[in-house]
Amino acid sequence: IHSATQIVQIIDNQNEFLTGDCMKTAKILNETENSGCCLIVGLDGNIEDIGYNKDILNKYEKSNFEKIIDASGKSIIPGFIDAHTHAVWSGDRVHEFVLKLAGASYMEVHNAGGGINFTVDHVRKATEDELLSSLRDYLRKMMECGTTTVEIKSGYGLDLENEIKMLKVIEKARKLVPIDIVSTYCGAHSIPKGKTADEAVEDIISNQIPQIDKLIRDNILNVKNIDVFCEKGVFNVEQTRRMLNAGKSIGLQINFHGEELSLLESASMGADLGARAISHLEEISEQGIEKMAEKSTAAVLLPTTAYTLRLKRPPARKMIKAGIPLALGSDFNPNAHCFSMPMVMNLACVLFEMSMNEALVASTLNAAYSLGLSKTHGSLQTGKFADLIILDAPRWEHLIYQLGSHSYLIEAVIKKGEVIYN
Ligand code: NIG
Ligand code: FE
Q: What is the pLDDT of residues 48-106, one digit of tens each?
A: 999 998 888 889 988 889 999 999 999 999 999 999 999 999 999 999 999 999 999 99
Q: From CA 339, how far away is CA 242, in angstroms rounded? A: 33
User: What per-residue confidence (pLDDT) applies to 27?
Assistant: 83
Q: Which residues contact 202 (CB under 8 A, 6 or more apart)?
A: none
Ligand 2 centre distance from Cα of residue 302 (Å): 8
Which of 229, 234, 256, 261 for a ligand 1 pocket mutation test, highest count of atoms within 8 Å of Cβ? 229
Q: At CA 179, angle to CA 174 and CA 183, rounded to 5?
A: 55
CB of 331 shorter than 6 A to ligand 1: yes
Pinpoint the residues of the chain covered by CATH 2.30.40.10. 6-79+379-421
User: What per-residue confidence (pLDDT) applies to 385?
Assistant: 98
Q: At CA 86, angle to CA 385 and CA 248, rounded to 5?
A: 75
Q: From CA 173, how far away is CA 170, in angstroms rounded? A: 5
For ligand 1, atom 3, name the residue with the nearest CA: 229
User: What per-residue confidence (pLDDT) applies to 223?
Assistant: 98
The answer to whether the CB of 251 falls within 8 A of the CB of 225 is: no
User: What per-residue confidence (pLDDT) applies to 317?
Assistant: 98
Q: Which residues contact 237 (CB under 8 A, 6 or more apart)?
A: 230, 264, 265, 266, 269
Q: Is 98 exposed, middle or buried (0-12, 13-18, 19+ CB in 10 A)?
A: exposed
CB of 86 shorter than 6 A to ligand 1: yes
The pLDDT averaged over each successive group of 10 residues in the chain (422 residues) is 93 86 85 84 95 88 89 96 98 96 95 94 98 98 98 98 98 98 98 97 98 98 98 98 98 98 98 98 98 98 97 98 98 98 98 97 98 97 97 97 95 97 96
Ligand 1 centre distance from Cα of residue 235 (Å): 14
Pinpoint the residues of the chain covered by CATH 3.20.20.140. 80-370
Q: How far, in whole angstroms, is CA 357 from its chain's centroid?
A: 17
Which of 90, 305, 309 for a ligand 1 pocket mutation test, highest count of atoms within 8 Å of Cβ? 305
Per CATH, the homologous superfamily of domain 6-79+379-421 is Urease, subunit C, domain 1 (2.30.40.10)
The answer to whether the CB of 378 falls within 8 A of the CB of 10 is: yes
Ligand 1 centre distance from Cα of residue 335 (Å): 7
SS3 419: strand
Q: From CA 83, how far away is CA 233, in angstroms rounded? A: 25
Q: From CA 276, how far away is CA 271, in angstroms rounded? A: 8
In degrees and rounded to multiples of 5, residue 130 shows phi and psi of: -65, -45
CB of 5 shorter than 6 A to ligand 1: no
CATH class of 80-370: alpha beta
For ligand 1, atom 11, name the residue with the nearest CA: 331
Q: From CA 372, how far away is CA 375, in angstroms rounded? A: 8
CB of 335 shorter than 6 A to ligand 1: yes
Sign of the CA dihedral running 192, 196, 202, 203: negative
User: DSSP E strands: which ranges in 119-268?
Assistant: 147-153, 180-188, 223-228, 253-258
List residues bridging with 105 in a β-sheet.
none
Q: From CA 339, how far away is CA 65, in angstroms rounded? A: 35
